[in-house]
Copies of this chain bind each other. A is one copy, B any other.
Amino acid sequence: VGGTLYQLSKAGKLCVPAMNVNDSVTKQKFDNLYCCRESILDGLKRTTDVMFGGKQVVVCGYGEVGKGCCAALKALGAIVYITEIDPICALQACMDGFRVVKLCEIIRHVDVIITCTGNKNVVTRDQLDRMKNGSIVCNMGHSNTEIDVASLRTPELTWERVRSQVDHVIWPDGKRVILLAEGRLLNLSCSTVPTFVLSITATTQALALIELYNAPEGRYKQDVYLLPKKMDEYVASLHLATFDAHLTELSDEQAKYLGLNKNGPFKPNYYRYTHFNYYLLIIN
Footprint of B on A, CB under 8 Å? 1-7, 16-23, 25-26, 28-35, 37-38, 41-42, 45-46, 49-54, 56, 61, 63-66, 71-72, 74-79, 83-103, 105, 109, 116, 118-121, 142, 191-197, 205, 208-209, 212-213, 224, 226, 232-234, 236-237, 239-240, 242-251, 253-254, 257-259, 264, 266-270, 272-284
Is B76 touching A72 in the complex (CB atoms < 8 A)?
yes
Is A212 touching B84 in the complex (CB atoms < 8 A)?
no
Is B282 touching A91 in the complex (CB atoms < 8 A)?
no
Is B257 touching A120 in the complex (CB atoms < 8 A)?
yes
Is B277 touching A32 in the complex (CB atoms < 8 A)?
yes
Q: How far is the CA of A101 from the CA of B254 in the complex (A)?
A: 18
Is B64 touching A275 in the complex (CB atoms < 8 A)?
yes
The interface residues of chain B lying within 8 Å CB-to-CB of A3 are: 259, 276
The interface residues of chain B lying within 8 Å CB-to-CB of A257 are: 119-120
Is A100 touching B243 in the complex (CB atoms < 8 A)?
yes
8 pairs, CB–CB < 8 Å, chain A vs chain B? A2-B279, A33-B274, A38-B45, A54-B94, A87-B233, A99-B245, A100-B245, A209-B282
Whose C-beta in chain B lies nearest to the C-beta of A73? B97
15 new A-B contacts at CB < 8 Å, known A88-B233, A208-B282: A20-B279, A26-B88, A32-B275, A33-B275, A34-B77, A49-B194, A53-B94, A64-B273, A64-B275, A66-B275, A77-B96, A86-B267, A101-B245, A142-B277, A209-B280
Q: How far is the CA of A191 from the CA of B127 in the complex (A)?
A: 33
The interface residues of chain B lying within 8 Å CB-to-CB of A274 are: 23, 28-29, 32-33, 63-64
Within the complex, what minimum Cβ distance (angstroms) separates A66 from chain B? 7
Is B282 touching A118 in the complex (CB atoms < 8 A)?
no
Is B119 touching A249 in the complex (CB atoms < 8 A)?
no
Q: How far is the CA of A101 from the CA of B38 in the complex (A)?
A: 25
